[in-house]
Structure 1
Amino acid sequence: MAETGDREKETTLESIINITTDGDVLETTKKHDTAQRVVEQQSAQDLATTTESLPNGPSWSVWSLQQRRLIILMTSCASLLSPLSAQIYFPALDAIAKDLHVTDGLVNLSITTFMVIQAIAPTFTAQLSDTVGRRPLYMGCLCLYMVANIGLGAQNSYTALLILRCLQSAGSSGTVALAYGVVTDITTSAERGRYIAYASAIPMLGPTLGPIIGGVLAHFAGWHSIFWFLLAPAGIIAVLMALFFPETCRKIVDDGSIPPQTWNRCYTNVVIERAAKKAGKDVPFDKRDELSKSRPFRLPNPFATIMLLLQKECGYALLYSSLQACSFYATLSLIPSQFHRIYQFNELQIALCYIPFGVGSLVAAFNRGKMLDSNFKRHAKRLGITIEKNQQTDLSNFPIERARLEVALPTIIIGSASLIGFGWTLHFQTNLAGPLILLLVIAFCLSASLNCVACLTVDLYPGKAGTVSASNNLLRCLLGAGSTAVVVPMISAVGVGWAVTIFALINVVTLPLLWYVMKQGPSWRAETLRQMQEKQAAKAPNAAM
């Protein structure tokens, strides 16, 4: 009866949220003893090419479906702060320059420094979270972000603006990399596509909501009000996470059953421990102490993030993803100037034109996650792999590259074609409906394909998902900053039609990178696994002596 009630509750929750979650998710396959020994000794620096669970072994995560959704919801809300803070600032640039008596170039410098910190900060927070834990880093980032917003709302100095915007960027951008680490902690490969999409859904609203909110606040309440406004959601998120967000880092809590350190507990941990004691189960405090002793504190090494970009297993995929993101950033940055020139729109009208972009990105987040998981199960069925609920898969002989990237290819082609159409509708100054519809399609396709690559990279390195996300963020932000800097000169030189076409052609011309990853990825992973086995075998005699 209790099990029936639980199933009914989950069914009701599914209908309310309107998210379809397949019950028969997750997989495992046969596994050689040697590979299993390697996996047991893997550190955060090892390539996760094999599974952490065996068929019929322990569950990957103790978190229920509802708990996982709430955890992902909180991480998604926290990740919204970074894109929202970046975009909400743009409508106030002229007012800030006037009030602080500085040139437009100096105000634009605050945008550049924001993006530089946005690229660098996650390299530190992500690596720390892989050893210290996700929860402490979340609280630290949110506190830093709130302090920066208080200072920005109260200051009237250009120097203070520049410094505090850097702190604001450091606090907000760190949460984005942490989100991917959390998703990897609590989900397996077979369902990870769906949850990564959910984690990226709310942040996709940032480029849409930011200009609208910023334009309204700057016009009616002054530019200082923008930062006081940002303080409110950050405070709400910080309180909710302090009370209910549990530690998920597997090096600290394993599958979630091991309690974290006393200072790292929240109310959710108290509820879980009470339920365990009520059921007559022992709370494994001894295992917590064992994990703590085996987990030495390490200062973050920013070069580890850079070195990860040089690894064949994910370097090519991250390079293509970042090149594709260039067209994403270029499209966003050209909208204000071109829509003002062609349609004579004011700041608020231009801000409203970002709505199709946000809608397309949001739809892609929910749609693409289901397609990723479906394609994963299709390949598993083709290979005769049994999918078992809440158990991780042995990826050593599984074509994870094809399972993820096959879903991205159609949207890349459609998105590139739509991008070309968008540029030429602006060139010929067509009716507004044309570019807005194409903007929706572009947002859907670009967001969907970027999610596919992000899912692949954390599948390849689940033990250091935060570092992988930081590598992705570093390359994407640096190339994105370059694309926003050159798009206006390109439009002046060759016109908006050809400028946008060039960005679209970059997506198409570099597409063979993904084909190369799909073809060579399994052999790269096999070679890496062989090298790890040889290292472990060489260490074994020394350890015995």
Structure 2
Amino acid sequence: MADSHDQKFDLTDRETSISGSDEPTQPAETDRISYHAFSAADEKNELARKSHENKVMSEPENEVIEIGQNDPSAESPSEQPLQRVMTPGEDYSVLTVGQKKLIIMAASVASLFSPMATAIYYPSLNTISKDLNVTNSKINITVTIFLVCLPHHLPSHMDQQKQGRRPMYIFCFIVFTAANLGLALQNNYVALLILRMIQASGSSGTVALANGVVGDMVTSAERGTYVAYASLGGIMGPMVSPIIGGVIGQYAGWHWIFWFLIIFSAVVFIPLILFMPETCRNVVDNGSIPPPFFSRNITDTIRHRHRAEKGLTINEEKRAAFAEKYKFRLPNPLSTLRVLLDPESAILLFGTGLGLGCFYAISTGASVAFSQNYGFSQVKIGLMFIPIGGGSVLSAFTSGRLVDWNYRRWCAKLNVPIIKNRRQDLTNFPIERARLQVAWPAFFLGGIFLIAYGWILTISISVAAPIVFLFITGWALTSCFQILNVLMVDIYPGKPSVATAANNFVRCELGAVFSAILLPMVDSIGWGWSYTILALCFMGYAPMLILIMRRGPRWRRERKAREDKARMERQEKRDLKVAAEVERNRSEKN
């Protein structure tokens, strides 16, 4: 390929969709106007002239980077033909950077309840088993059953792209509160199992919603950092909740753990429901369309009033089109399971499942390990979750920045401009390489330190050793499934909640398996060999990253072709239905 200053590239004015869908529009070949190679100065002048001629237009919304039809790994990017197609369009979101951060942090706090409900009674597992007169293995089943039911929550199966985020938050709050009330009042093992299933259904939807909010407002150029913000709640939960649960369990009794969850959830969800604006793009577009009444809140009302005072009018035709699409639909679990049929998605989801499975294996084993091997109380056991949680929090900031840095590096390598607050079409961009190159070292680091942690528990040396190894293991494991999660959102533009729901399904099922088998493995072969086997499974997945980097772009193109074909078929059916109805009305008039 020629030097970056002598590339061939195309510029075209392309009509963008206002349907509210986040799905990128691929330009037709006949729409492209080819320019011969010219110098960097000529390119700058040409772009300046275009900018002058299109003053009413903002920066380009979509960018298509074509790197040939061959596999990206077949030849170096510098040798591949690069073609850019840039189009004018609206801002991806009308919200300010400060508003985006505030909304995403609110969604992150709400997502805290899923891991909090999972981990808050880890330190009390031994006490609960004695009070209910059951074995430790049976009490661990309450953790397993929670993880099994975690992905089978109604909000993920409901069409959030039609109903929006706000109704889902209301549903989660009601179910979560009702389940915690029952758990606080029961004294029966069977009741504990059933209510934990209901509690999982209410809490887990908040994780998918948080990632959905990120996809609503943030483009791929900044997604790594913002996904890190959104995942802070999920990362802080395993660190903070065992400490809270240990203190409450030791001084007030384990029933008060669930009273605490009722009070804390009310403190978080009531302001969130009153003030957090609707962000779903198929309901409010880029935030410029007022949501329907049921999805509206105080913030939406005030914000759109201020926009009207500034003279920012609403496109009534677009508003009517969005209102017509806003409807309630019954749950459809198949929409989530279909993601598993895509090879790239299935491999990514399996990787996140292995990472979270190892994480839960550490968490569920900690209560027994530090109680038996170190003689710790409930409070001290809770404090031992700080190292792994601290490593996870550090990972949220470092991995997000590393992912965004590598994305910028690849854009510079391919001479692709990074356009903030504009959606960039990644159909032919090597997004897999830009994301997964950062994850590769973390897989091996996490596996090695997990093995070391298991053998440290076996010989019961100074408590300082497991603290250090838990911190590093927490950083590595969280980095792995954090990066894979960012890539999942990237390859499903416009459907972040569906991608996250599928992610939750696989990783929670594998987490349940790892949690269920850990203690029987420990009883049979000890701590060292148990964690060694789990770590080898985790590291054994790493070569699959190479397969994704090589085949991912082709799989994405094939999936997009299938989706485009299905969309065209649905549109043809709708057109035929409308034509038949028009003909019928005409016949009735005659």
Q: TM-score, normalised by structure 1?
A: 0.87
**Aligned-partner Cα distance in 2 for 1:71–1:242:** 12
Aligned counterpart for 1:315 among listed residues 312, 322, 346: 346
The 1:271–1:295 alpha-carbon spacing in structure 2 relative to 1, beyond 3 Å, is closer
C-alpha contact 1:30 1:394 (8 A) present in aligned 2 = no
C-alpha contact 1:127 1:466 (8 A) present in aligned 2 = no
Q: Name 1:88's counterpart in structure 2.
A: 120
**Aligned-partner Cα distance in 2 for 1:251–1:277:** 21
SS of 1:299's equivalent in the other structure is coil
Q: Cα distance, 1:163 vs. partner?
A: 3.3
Q: Name 2:551's counterpart in structure 1.
A: 520
Residues 379-438 of structure 1, C-alpha deviations (whole Å, 9 max, x = no match)? 111111112221111101211111111111111122222122222222333222112101
Matched, 1:168 2:188: no
The answer to which of 62-71 and 495-504 deviates more is 495-504
Aligned counterpart for 2:262 among listed residues 224, 231, 249: 231
Q: Cα distance, 1:103 vs. partner?
A: 6.0
Matched, 1:145 2:202: no
The answer to which of 468-477 and 289-298 deviates more is 289-298
The 1:524–1:103 alpha-carbon spacing in structure 2 relative to 1, beyond 3 Å, is closer
Q: Name 2:111's counterpart in structure 1.
A: 79
Q: What does residue range 116-515 of structure 1 map to in structure 2 within 5 Å?
A: 116-121=148-153, 124-125=155-156, 127-295=158-326, 297-515=328-546
The 1:390–1:411 alpha-carbon spacing in structure 2 relative to 1, beyond 3 Å, is same
The 1:541–1:133 alpha-carbon spacing in structure 2 relative to 1, beyond 3 Å, is closer
Q: Cα distance, 1:460 vs. partner?
A: 0.7
The 1:161–1:486 alpha-carbon spacing in structure 2 relative to 1, beyond 3 Å, is closer
Number of aligned residue pairs:
513
Q: What does residue range 102-117 of structure 1 map to in structure 2 within 5 Å?
A: 107-117=139-149
Residues 445-503 of structure 1, C-alpha deviations (whole Å, 9 max, x = no match)? 11011110000001111222111111111111111111112222222333322221222
Return the index of the structure with the highest Cα Rg.
2
Q: Name 1:19's counterpart in structure 2.
A: none
Q: Cα distance, 1:42 vs. partner?
A: 9.8
C-alpha contact 1:59 1:391 (8 A) present in aligned 2 = yes
The answer to which of 424-433 and 212-221 deviates more is 424-433
The letter for the 2-side match of 1:362 is V
SS of 2:250's equivalent in the other structure is helix
The answer to which of 302-311 and 159-168 deviates more is 159-168
The letter for the 2-side match of 1:73 is M
**Aligned-partner Cα distance in 1 for 2:11–2:204:** 39
**Aligned-partner Cα distance in 2 for 1:171–1:531:** 34
C-alpha contact 2:250 2:378 (8 A) present in aligned 1 = no
**Aligned-partner Cα distance in 2 for 1:48–1:460:** 14
Q: Percent identity?
A: 40
Residues 197-255 of structure 1, C-alpha deviations (whole Å, 9 max, x = no match)? 11111221222222221121122112221111111221111122122101111000010
Q: Cα distance, 1:344 vs. partner?
A: 2.2
The 1:171–1:258 alpha-carbon spacing in structure 2 relative to 1, beyond 3 Å, is same
**Aligned-partner Cα distance in 2 for 1:72–1:94:** 37
Q: Give 5+ residue unaligned stretches, structure 2.
A: 1-8, 28-59, 63-85, 580-590
C-alpha contact 2:290 2:300 (8 A) present in aligned 1 = yes
The 1:99–1:82 alpha-carbon spacing in structure 2 relative to 1, beyond 3 Å, is same
C-alpha contact 1:89 1:211 (8 A) present in aligned 2 = yes
Q: Cα distance, 1:171 vs. partner?
A: 1.0
The 1:286–1:157 alpha-carbon spacing in structure 2 relative to 1, beyond 3 Å, is farther
**Aligned-partner Cα distance in 2 for 1:358–1:290:** 45
C-alpha contact 1:49 1:460 (8 A) present in aligned 2 = no
Aligned counterpart for 1:66 among listed residues 90, 98, 111: 98
**Aligned-partner Cα distance in 2 for 1:195–1:244:** 20
The answer to which of 458-467 and 438-447 deviates more is 458-467
**Aligned-partner Cα distance in 2 for 1:244–1:42:** 23
Q: Cα distance, 1:133 vs. partner?
A: 0.6
The letter for the 2-side match of 1:85 is A
**Aligned-partner Cα distance in 2 for 1:101–1:504:** 33
The letter for the 1-side match of 2:115 is P
**Aligned-partner Cα distance in 2 for 1:141–1:461:** 24
The 1:100–1:328 alpha-carbon spacing in structure 2 relative to 1, beyond 3 Å, is closer
The 1:441–1:149 alpha-carbon spacing in structure 2 relative to 1, beyond 3 Å, is same
The 1:100–1:416 alpha-carbon spacing in structure 2 relative to 1, beyond 3 Å, is closer
**Aligned-partner Cα distance in 1 for 2:380–2:309:** 58
The letter for the 1-side match of 2:531 is V
Residues 158-207 of structure 1, C-alpha deviations (whole Å, 9 max, x = no match)? 55434332222211111111111111001000101111111111221222
Q: TM-score, normalised by structure 2?
A: 0.80
Q: Name 2:72's counterpart in structure 1.
A: none
Q: CA RMSD in A?
A: 2.8
Q: Cα distance, 1:92 vs. partner?
A: 3.2
The letter for the 1-side match of 2:323 is S
C-alpha contact 1:152 1:224 (8 A) present in aligned 2 = yes
Q: Cα distance, 1:277 vs. partner?
A: 1.6
Q: Cα distance, 1:52 vs. partner?
A: 6.6
Q: Name 2:37's counterpart in structure 1.
A: none
The answer to which of 201-210 and 472-481 deviates more is 201-210
Q: Cα distance, 1:156 vs. partner?
A: 4.0
C-alpha contact 2:278 2:284 (8 A) present in aligned 1 = yes
The 1:506–1:108 alpha-carbon spacing in structure 2 relative to 1, beyond 3 Å, is closer
Q: Cα distance, 1:514 vs. partner?
A: 1.2
C-alpha contact 1:84 1:206 (8 A) present in aligned 2 = yes
C-alpha contact 1:259 1:285 (8 A) present in aligned 2 = no
